[in-house]
Amino acid sequence: MRKIFAFFSTLFFYLFFIKPAFADVTVDVCSQAGAGGNTGFNKILCGFNPQSFGPMVGRVIIAVIIIAIIIAVFFLIIGGIRWITSGGDKSKVEGARNQIVAAIVGLIIAILAYFIISFVAGLFGITITNLTIPNLIGGSSSSSAVCGGNTSGSCTSGTCTQINPGLLPPIFECR
């Protein structure tokens, strides 16, 4: 009886008291400055653009490598402390030695990862701290480079229309 009551009371509240979600409504939180739009985390998201993605990835790569180096040094120090406090016990000395070797290998891998990433990025003419993402479609990233600099719709051989609506960067062509 309790399960039936719980089911019907949940159904009643679901049908009559829950507001419907309008999934087809577009909300632009960046334009709603007064309603919490450009504050806190929204300020970061509203300031995000495709040009800021590359440097952010570069900073994340460097941060991960620095964290890996710090962890490796931490394990190296812990292994040294374990070796010192082993008291001559062969199994404890062996465990400490294995931890030190693993920490040194991890440290070497983290440092080599940085140099390998820097080398490969240098082959492509970019730096880790300032990664740039190239356009996948030919032409420049600004919409003024297409249609003779006019995006209002007056082309010599037709009208200027956007061929990738809703995507960044907008790409226009005369049709």
Domain residue ranges of the chain, discontinuous segments joined by +: 2-46, 52-130, 143-174
pLDDT tens string, the chain, 175 residues long: the values are 788 888 888 877 776 666 666 566 666 666 655 554 455 655 666 666 666 777 778 888 889 999 999 999 999 999 999 999 998 899 999 999 999 999 999 999 999 998 998 888 888 777 777 776 665 554 444 444 445 444 444 566 666 776 666 555 666 666 6
- Gyration radius of the chain over CA positions: 29
Beta strands in the chain (DSSP E): 160-162, 172-174
Residue with tokens 């300020």: 43
Helix (H) or strand (E) holding 68: helix 50-84
Rounded CA-CA distance 43/162 in Å is: 28
Q: Could you tell me the end-to-end alpha-carbon distance of the chain, in angstroms, rounded to an integer?
A: 69
